[in-house]
Structure 1
Amino acid sequence: MKRNSQNKTMTIINDQTYIDKTLNGDVNAFSYLIEKYKVMVFSLAMKMLKNKEEAEEIAQDTFIKAYKGLKKFNGESKFSTWLYKIAYRNCLDSLKKITRNYNTEAIDETNSNKIKETTDILESIERKERAKVMKACMEKLPEEERSILWSFYFEELSLNEITEVTGLSIANVKVKLHRGRKRLLSIVKRNVEPELIKHYGRK
Structure 2
Amino acid sequence: MTNKNDQLYITKIIKGDVNAFAHLVDNYKNMVFSLAFKMTKSREEAEEISQDTFIKAFKNLKNFKGDSKFSTWLYRIAYHTSLDAIKKNRNNNATFEINEVTFNQIQAVETILQGIERNERSKVMDICLQKLPDEQRAIIWMFYYDELSLKEIMEVTSLSEANLKVKLHRARKKLLTIVKENVEPEMIENYGRK
For 1:133 and 1:104, locate their aligned partners in 2 and report how far apart those are by CA, in whole Å: 20
Q: RMSD of the alignment, in Å?
A: 1.6
**Which is further off, 45-54 or 115-124?**
115-124
Alignment correspondent of 2:172: 181
Gapped runs of 5+ residues in structure 2?
A: none
1:168 and 2:159 are equivalent in the alignment: yes
The C-alpha deviation readout for 1:128-186, integer Å capped at 9, x for no partner, is 22111111101111111110111111111111111111111011101111111111111
User: Could you say if the C-alpha distance between residues 102 and 152 of structure 1 is closer, same or farther in structure 2, counting changes exceeding 3 Å?
Assistant: same
2:77 counterpart residue number: 86
Aligned counterpart for 2:135 among listed residues 131, 141, 144:
144
1:15 — aligned with what? 6
Could you tell me how far 1:195 is from its partner in structure 2? 4.2
Which amino acid in 1 is paired with 2:172?
R
Cross-structure match for 2:49: 58
State the one-letter code of the partner of 2:78: A
Residue from 154, 159, 170 that aligns with 2:150: 159
Q: 1:103 Cα deviation (Å)? A: 4.8
Is 1:115–1:186's contact at 8 Å kept on the other side of the alignment?
A: no
Separation (CA, whole Å) in 2 of partners of 1:200 and 1:156: 28
Rounded to whole Å, the distance in 2 between the matches of 1:71 and 1:112 is 47
Output the TM-score relative to the length of structure 1: 0.89
One-letter amino acid of the counterpart of residue 114, structure 2: E
- Structure 1 residue 100 displacement after superposition: 3.1
Q: How far did residue 82 of structure 1 move?
A: 0.6
Aligned to 1:124: 115
Taking structure 2 as the reference length, what is the TM-score of the superposition?
A: 0.93
Distance 2:69 2:107 in 1: 36
Question: 1:202 & 1:155 partners in 2: Cα distance?
Answer: 32
Q: For this pair of structures, how many residues does the alignment match?
A: 194
Return the letter of the residue paired with 1:55.
Answer: A
Q: Given that residues 118 and 189 in structure 1 are in contact (C-alpha distance below 8 angstroms), is that contact kept between their aligned partners in structure 2? A: yes
| Conserved 8 A contact 2:132-2:174 | yes
Contact 1:44/1:147 (<8 A) preserved: yes
Query: In 1, are the aligned partners of 2:72 and 2:156 still within 8 Å (CA)?
Result: yes
1:196 aligns with 2:187: yes
Contact 2:99 2:177 in 1 (8 A): no
Output the CA distance in 2 between the equivalents of 1:53 and 1:42. Answer: 10
